[in-house]
Homo-oligomer: A and B are copies of this chain.
Amino acid sequence: MSGRLFDRVALIGIGLIGSSLARVLRRDSPGTTIVACARRAETLATVRRLAIADETTQDPAAAVAGADLVVVATPLSAYSEIGRCIAPALREGAIVTDVGSVKGAAIEALAPTLPDRVQFVPGHPVAGTEHSGPDAGFADLFHDRWCILTPLPDTAPEAVAKIAALWEMAGMRIATMAAEHHDKVLAVTSHLPHLIAYTIVGTATELGQDLQSEVVAYSAGGFRDFTRIAASDPVMWRDIFLANREAVLELLQRFSEDLTALQRAIRRGDADTLHDWFARTRAIRRSIIEAKQA
């Protein structure tokens, strides 16, 4: 019997998150066999070049055969097809987890497809960069970040504990909460910020060619931070907004009201309202620095 968490891990999707996890396994669990699965042959060629998997395949069912852990790490829109495809091939007692940013939709798509003989532990490692693909991954991506697990009522505690141990091996702190609550929190901390960044960078690109080169040159004044966020993977983010539609739209409504209030303050020259608002937002930055998430 080995001291390894898992003997054979199938990574369905091997982009930024999947390939970073592969690197963690390579580093901290050298006896584990890693199977990488991607839709495009080119992606798998990159994986082989990087030597971050033992086997590669374009067939999800072949990938999961014999695996004691299956990690779904594709955009959300691929989940239900993957679930249907892998279900017959899943081994008795295997654990299936995922890394999707919207847990309600992940569960809705994946849970009904999975057989009773496996355990499903929905998860979300809250880490990332604006880069995508297996080249962009690195083992330290997860270091000191949070991984949120949203187990179902019938998920076995032992399965949750093993997934927690996996992400702890990657350097993460673990939180557990209901999927619905996760989706509300992430709408604030991640989805709305991305939507706003995508919007403002889009607005700037429509200002005409002359102004645009100047926008690039003088972007150090704040704009460049938005461009970094707005360079994130388009397919992944399209799926996130559609999957977390309700929470995002509700929050967007509040944001628009607040923006209108500040707009009115600027139009009316209401210096006190502006100053009070800006002084208040400084405090939350201090909290983030204290929580070591800066």
Taken residue by residue from 242 to 277, chain A's Cβ proximity to chain B (1 for < 8 Å, 0 otherwise) reads as 100100110110111011001100110101001101
Indicate if the CB atoms of B278 and A266 lie closer than 8 Å: no
CA distance A203 to B285 in the complex (A): 14
Q: Does A235 sit at the interface, judged by CB under 8 A?
A: yes
Q: Does A238 sit at the interface, judged by CB under 8 A?
A: yes
Indicate if the CB atoms of B229 and A284 lie closer than 8 Å: no
Contact residue among B101, B126, B219, B266 (Cβ-Cβ distance under 8 Å from A293): B219
Indicate if the CB atoms of B285 and A238 lie closer than 8 Å: no
Contact residue among B128, B189, B214 (Cβ-Cβ distance under 8 Å from A215): B189
Residue ID in chain B nearest A229 by CB atoms: B222
Question: Which residues on B sit within 8 Å (CB–CB) of A206?
Answer: 254, 258
Q: Does A157 sit at the interface, judged by CB under 8 A?
A: no
Q: How many copies does the complex hold?
A: 2
Q: Does A1 sit at the interface, judged by CB under 8 A?
A: no
Taken residue by residue from 205 to 244, chain A's Cβ proximity to chain B (1 for < 8 Å, 0 otherwise) reads as 1110001101111111111111111111011011001100
CA distance A126 to B214 in the complex (A): 12
- Interface segment among A35-43, A64-72, A191-199: the answer is A191-199
Indicate if the CB atoms of A242 and B269 lie closer than 8 Å: yes
Indicate if the CB atoms of A217 and B175 lie closer than 8 Å: yes
Indicate if the CB atoms of B285 and A189 lie closer than 8 Å: no
Q: Does A186 sit at the interface, judged by CB under 8 A?
A: yes
Question: Which residues on B sit within 8 Å (CB–CB) of A283?
Answer: 205
CA distance A221 to B231 in the complex (A): 14
- Known A230-B282, A231-B282, A284-B205: A249·B263 in contact at CB below 8 Å: yes
CA distance A190 to B217 in the complex (A): 12
Which residue, A198, A234, A252, A278, has most C-beta atoms of chain B within 10 A? A278
- Smallest CB separation, A193 vs chain B (Å): 4
Question: Which residues on B sit within 8 Å (CB–CB) of A178?
Answer: none
Indicate if the CB atoms of B282 and A221 lie closer than 8 Å: no
Indicate if the CB atoms of B185 and A230 lie closer than 8 Å: no
Contact residue among B128, B193, B194, B200 (Cβ-Cβ distance under 8 Å from A193): B200
The 10 closest A-B pairs by CB, nearest first: A190-B221, A234-B278, A231-B285, A193-B222, A230-B281, A201-B281, A189-B223, A238-B274, A227-B285, A234-B279
